[in-house]
Structure formats: structure tokens, C-alpha cells
A = this chain, B = another copy of it.
Amino acid sequence: ARPIDIAVIGGDGIGPEVTAEALKALRAVLGEDGLQTTDYALGARVWHETGEALPEGVLDDLRRHDAILLGAIGDPSVPSGVLERGLLLRLRFDLDHYVNLRPTRLYPGVKSPLDVASVAPDGIDFVVVREGTEGPYTGNGGALRVGTPAEVATEVSVNTRFGVERLVRDAFARAQARERRKLTLVHKHNVLSYAGHLWRRTVEEVGAEFPEVTTDYLHIDAATIFLTTGPGRFDVIVTDNLFGDIITDLAGAVGGGIGLAASANINPDREVPSMFEPVHGSAPDLAGQGIADPTAAILSASLLLAHLGRTAEAARVEEAVAADLANRGAGSRSTSQVGDAIARRLSATGRS
């Protein structure tokens, strides 16, 4: 088989550090000949040097790869929103990554901030299917009379049947393939009625194609309660871009910390590269010290393998991470120590 061809965007802060460990895991599981990488220097430095978040032509280059592995984007030296909208969201939107997939599993040995024995005795294992290209993330809106007492600022959430339906169908298909076959729509249709009704109707209608999947609804506010008082009830959650952003950080915390939370920005059309990144950000305060936890980046690499159809390898990476987590104990290891330990497990289990 030809090697997997990956575009690597280490990005800012701890991004390059954790990405390096994810690449170790990929090399260990695919073999040196199984992986080909191209580094793309993007992020705060490039923006300072060129004034551009995504210089001309780079997007076309990125399109040629099988997938994109991203570390993190964002730096305090850049005005808020510039890199988010100009680079991270730009990639998600231009590559039409409409399925933002964020699994949460409480792995054995991992400590949750929850009192798990009483609120999740049967464990935690769910996935959030977050819409990635619409909602309040479109950049629609504006401001009038800025800086005066009469200032008005608006943000417009844009939702289309086209966008909601394709996402909801993807979520149902994922629910169908899981053991519990349960899908929970999270929205706020009692207040955001226009968008809420569109989401509700779409779930109802697409749900008819998946009679084996049970559906359920929670308002976003209630969903945050259940994520802390009974996260075991969730299997697949489908929700919009902003609600998904919020609950996946909460889900990450509940699952033992944002240092373990992986994500995939997927365009199901395999001709377009999907993008894999930890849920956490660039954490400038931790950068350069070699203390960031690379686990979320490594689990994101597992999602990358799964998306490219390398199911066995994906499972092996996840198992190596799980084995490492089960044995972590209290001692603290450096970023590369964690990455090396996981890579060693992968080399030891051997390639089949």
C-alpha cells in the first residue's frame, strides 16, 4: 500500500510538541515506510511575518494530502479571532469539515472530576457529533456605532436544511453502528425557535430512515446537568456548532481532562482531507516546557487512521493509549516520555 500522506500543522504554543508525539505513534503503528509527512508552518509566527493567517496557495497544497494533523492554533500576541477565523475556522469551512467528531470515554485508571462511583457507575462512553460549518460560527453579524454609547453588535446563527440534514444523517449512521443506538439532539428550541424547529424536524425526518435508533432531546442547559449527574445516559449527541463547542469541553473535563480529548473535523468525501486535532488549545503558559500531555493529539491520530479506513491500526493506537493511561499513576512524565511510552507499546505489539 502507498504510504499515508499527511499534512502536519504543529501551530502555536504546545501544538508542535504534542503533534511530534502523535507522529511517533503513527510511525510506530504504520512503520517508517507507511507514513509520509509535510510540515506546514502556520500560526502566529507566519501571521506576524506575512500579515496572513493562511498565505495564498497553502490551501491548495493542503488539499493534496490524505489528511491534516493539527496541533493547536492561537497566541496572545495575535488579536483575538484573527487566527481562529483566518486559519482554524477557515480550514474547517473551506474544506467543508461539517462533521466535528468528539468522542468521550472514561478510560480505566483515569480520574474524572466527577464522583464517578455515584454518577457514572457503568462508565462513560459517548460521542458528540458537532456541526462544523454553520451556526453562530459563520462570521455573520456586525457592529454599528462602535465605541459609542449607542453601539449595537449582532451575531447571526445561520442554519440550513442542507447543512443540518447531512450532519444529522451522519450522526444517525454513527448511532446505528454503535451498541446502544441512541441519539440525543441537544439544542434550545424553546428559545431559539427558528433554528430549533429546523433541527427538531430534521432529526424526526432523518430518524425515520433509522428505525433502530432511539432518539431523545435535551435543551443545552439541561444537557450540561446530565453531563455531570449522569453522563452514562449519552451515546451519540448531535448538536450545532456552538453548543457542540461548549459541551465537548465539558465532556472532555468529565472524561478526565481536556488533555485527553481528541477530535476529528471530517468531510466524509475522502477526496478532501479531513483534519484531526486535540480539543485543547495552544496553552501558551505550558509551551516550551515539555510538560503538555500529548494524549489528546495521539488519540486524534487514532481518529485519523479510523477515518482513512485503517481500522486495525486505529484500534491499536487507542489500545496503547488506554494501556498507558491505566498505568500512569501519580508520577509526572514529560511530553516526550508519554509519547515514547505509547510508541514503544505500539512497536512492541508489532505490525501485522
Contact = CB atoms under 8 A, between A and B. Distances in A.
Interface of A: 74, 80-81, 84-85, 89, 111-116, 118-119, 136-137, 139-143, 146-162, 165, 188-198, 201, 220-222, 224-225, 228-229, 242, 245-250, 252-254, 257-258
A222 B7 CA distance: 28
B228 A113 contact: yes
A196 B81 CA distance: 10
A88 to B, nearest CB: 9
Contacts of A142: 194
Contacts of A198: 143, 146, 151, 153
* Most B C-beta atoms less than 10 A away, residue of A119, A194, A249, A252: A194
A156 B153 CA distance: 10
A224 B197 contact: no
Nearest to A116: B115
A242 B240 CA distance: 14
Contact of A80 (B116, B190, B254): B190
A153 B159 CA distance: 5
Q: Which 7 A-B pairs have the closest CB atoms?
A: A221-B249, A151-B161, A224-B250, A153-B194, A155-B157, A225-B253, A153-B198
Contacts of A246: 220-221, 224, 246
* Most B C-beta atoms less than 10 A away, residue of A150, A162, A221, A252: A221
B80 A193 contact: yes
B154 A155 contact: no
Contacts of A197: 80, 143, 146, 153
Nearest to A224: B250
A135 to B, nearest CB: 9
B160 A152 contact: yes
A141 B191 contact: no
B253 A137 contact: no
A67 B190 CA distance: 26
A137 to B, nearest CB: 6
A80 B229 contact: no
A103 B237 CA distance: 29
Contacts of A248: 221
A228 B160 contact: no
Nearest to A151: B161
A119 B153 CA distance: 37
Given A113-B229, A150-B162, 11 more contacts: A140-B154, A141-B195, A154-B157, A155-B159, A155-B194, A156-B156, A157-B157, A191-B245, A225-B258, A246-B246, A250-B250
